[in-house]
């Protein structure tokens, strides 16, 4: 077990309140080798930062150029990651803006940008604008340093429009040097992160991301994939466009083409598994979740893997139990565990699990009904007594209304025939599928943990003339 001082985990303050993420990160860390620092590497020195890149504002009067503004986070993120930094993805940015009741495409004031960055725990924010005139694109960026705080810039690049990638590369390099003046990485190695990307691929990819209609999104993303088959972000986006449009078989085909070693592969595996569950292809779903769980043992991944096994008439109880242990505040996981345990005739354990679900969410009617059946099945109650107790609970919830009615009928607490019949009717609820997962938070935690391990490794390294302790 790693012993890490909490003061060093500044970026993990969101994560540490979520035991599921922290336990999952440590589970991976136990089997992961300690990274060996590379001399002269900023990432190896553990100096990486969490950076938010915002879409650039379009100052042009020309229509149809909004895709350029959306492309800046995509390009700059890739370059900054090559310097050992962690960048905040589009979905996390949109989540933060929605939490502040802001539309995703809103033009933000500096004060609002600061609030968004604080919510995401960013070290720095890159924002800017661009204009296109007479075939030339000019882009200007600023760097908001969150811990000073101060605004650095302007940083400016300009070139013919067909050299947009060079403009964004130049801004990325300037921004990286502004954020870290001691950056020792060469410009060439910094820019190698995306040197094979084509401009027409980028344009179709970004149009596919921002188009409002499903058909247009799919059309542009299909073109991007055709132009650059190895461009993993476009492959993932195409699969997700199919998925969002409920074209699950097409989604599985597209997601299967996401390169296995790419940063997009985990998300592709998760939604491949979901598509398999939705289409009854349970073996494919279980295989996808199993592969993902090897590197990202998140509660939602283990839960869905267990469900896939159960749907194959196998036993996924152990996986769902692990999920509930990782995230004990999620009532759905305890409900799922109760359902799975009951299916294997572990009724007393199932009763304990469903009670935990009801402790977290007392008004869960499915869990209430499951508990009633389990009480009967374990011999702790009869159908009549369970139905009577249910009637009493219902009556007590309406006490205030009944007290105000002078002619309200008296109730004896006796169970009605229909209530008893309901308890005697077979009840086989299905488990609740986790339909999304927070990989970004996991990656942020893993990123910080990796850096801390690197610092520990550097600190513990023996002096040149000192023999290592055996």
Which of 432, 427, 434 is CA-nearest to residue 342? 427
Average the pLDDT over each of 171-175, 383-387, 409-413 and give the range with the smallest value: 409-413
Half-sphere exposure of 414 (CA within 13 A, CB side): 4
Of the pLDDT bands very low, low, confident and very high (cuts 50, 70, 90), residue 417 is: low
DSSP calls for 299-364: HHHHHHHHHHHHHTTS--HHHHHHHHHH-TT-HHHHHHHHHHHHHTT-HHHHHHHHHHHHHH-TT-
CA 219 → CA 197, 213, 214, 224, 307, distances in Å? 19, 10, 9, 9, 34
Please check whether residue 407 is in contact with residue 425, taking contact to mean a CB–CB distance below 8 angstroms: no
- Compute the distance between CA of residue 434 and CA of residue 300 in angstroms, rounded to an integer: 6
Instruction: State residue 96's pLDDT score.
Output: 77
Instruction: State residue 40's pLDDT score.
Output: 36
Tens-digit pLDDT profile for residues 297-334: 899 999 999 999 999 999 999 999 999 999 999 999 99
- Compute the distance between CA of residue 33 and CA of residue 444 in angstroms, rounded to an integer: 18
**3-class secondary structure per residue, 254-276:** HHCCCCCCCCCHHHHHHHHHHHH
Instruction: State residue 451's pLDDT score.
Output: 58
Of the pLDDT bands very low, low, confident and very high (cuts 50, 70, 90), residue 37 is: very low
Instruction: State residue 447's pLDDT score.
Output: 59
Average pLDDT of every residue of the chain: 81
Of 33-37, 336-340, 374-378, 438-442, the range with the highest mean pLDDT is 336-340
Instruction: State residue 116's pLDDT score.
Output: 86
**3-class secondary structure per residue, 409-439:** CCCCCCCCHHHHHHHHCCCCCCCCCCCCCCH
Of the pLDDT bands very low, low, confident and very high (cuts 50, 70, 90), residue 41 is: very low
- Compute the distance between CA of residue 351 and CA of residue 6 in angstroms, rounded to an integer: 38
Average of pLDDT values for 280-296? 95
List of domains in the chain: 50-184 (3.40.50.10610), 196-295 (1.25.40.10)
Helix boundaries (H) for 137-213 = 164-179, 187-191, 199-210
The three-class DSSP label of residue 238 is helix
The three-class DSSP label of residue 180 is coil
Is it the case that residue 432 has pLDDT exceeding 80? yes
Task: Provide the pairing of β-strand 136-145 with 150-160.
Answer: antiparallel
Tens-digit pLDDT profile for residues 147-159: 888 999 899 999 9
- Compute the distance between CA of residue 324 and CA of residue 333 in angstroms, rounded to an integer: 5
Residues 334-364 as b or e (16 or more Cβ within 10 Å = b): bbbbbbbbbbeebbebbbebbebbbebeeeb
Higher pLDDT, 201 or 417: 201
**Which residue has 């991301």 as its token pair?**
209
Q: Which residues on adjacent β-strands are paired with residue 418?
A: none
- Compute the distance between CA of residue 165 and CA of residue 199 in angstroms, rounded to an integer: 7
């Amino acid at each position: 077990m790693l012993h890490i001082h909490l003061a060093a985990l500044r970026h993990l303050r969101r994560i540490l309140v979520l035991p599921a993420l922290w336990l999952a990160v440590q589970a991976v860390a136990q089997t992961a080798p300690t990274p060996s620092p590379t001399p002269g590497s900023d990432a190896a020195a553990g100096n990486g930062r969490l950076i938010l890149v915002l879409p650039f504002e379009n100052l042009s009067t020309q229509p149809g150029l909004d895709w350029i503004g959306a492309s800046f986070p995509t390009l700059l993120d890739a370059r900054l990651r090559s310097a050992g930094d962690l960048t905040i993805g589009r979905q996390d940015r949109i989540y933060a803006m929605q939490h502040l009741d802001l539309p995703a495409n809103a033009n933000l004031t500096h004060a609002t940008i600061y609030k968004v960055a604080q919510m995401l725990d960013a070290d720095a924010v890159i924002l800017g604008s661009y204009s296109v005139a007479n075939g030339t694109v000019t882009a200007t960026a600023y760097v908001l340093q969150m811990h000073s705080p101060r605004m650095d810039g302007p940083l400016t690049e300009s070139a013919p429009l067909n050299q947009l990638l060079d403009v964004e590369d130049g801004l990325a390099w300037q921004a990286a040097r502004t954020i870290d003046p001691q950056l020792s990485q060469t410009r060439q190695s910094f820019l190698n992160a995306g040197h094979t990307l084509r401009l027409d691929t980028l344009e179709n990819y970004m149009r596919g991301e921002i188009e409002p209609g499903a058909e247009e999104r799919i059309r542009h993303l299909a073109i991007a994939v055709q132009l650059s088959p190895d461009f993993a972000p476009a492959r993932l986006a195409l699969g997700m466009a199919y998925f969002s449009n409920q074209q699950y078989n097409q989604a599985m085909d597209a997601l299967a083409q996401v390169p296995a070693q790419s940063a997009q592969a985990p998300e592709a595996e998760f939604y491949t598994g979901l598509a398999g569950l939705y289409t009854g292809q349970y073996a494919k779903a279980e295989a996808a979740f199993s592969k993902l769980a090897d590197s990202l043992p998140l509660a939602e991944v283990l839960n869905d893997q267990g469900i896939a096994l159960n749907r194959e008439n196998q036993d996924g109880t152990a996986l769902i139990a692990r999920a509930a242990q990782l995230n004990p505040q999620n009532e759905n996981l305890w409900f799922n565990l109760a359902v799975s345990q009951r299916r294997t005739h572990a009724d007393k354990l199932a009763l304990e699990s469903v009670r935990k679900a009801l402790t977290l969410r007392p008004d869960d009617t499915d869990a209430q009904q499951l508990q009633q059946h389990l009480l009967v099945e374990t011999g702790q109650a009869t159908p009549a007594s369970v139905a009577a107790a249910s009637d009493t609970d219902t009556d007590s919830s309406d006490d205030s209304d009944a007290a105000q009615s002078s002619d309200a009928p008296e109730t004896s607490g006796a169970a009605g025939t229909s209530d008893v019949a309901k308890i005697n009717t077979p009840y086989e609820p299905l488990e609740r599928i986790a339909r999304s997962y927070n990989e970004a938070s996991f990656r942020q935690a893993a990123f910080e943990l990796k850096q801390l391990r690197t610092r520990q490794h550097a600190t513990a390294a023996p002096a040149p003339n000192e023999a290592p302790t055996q």
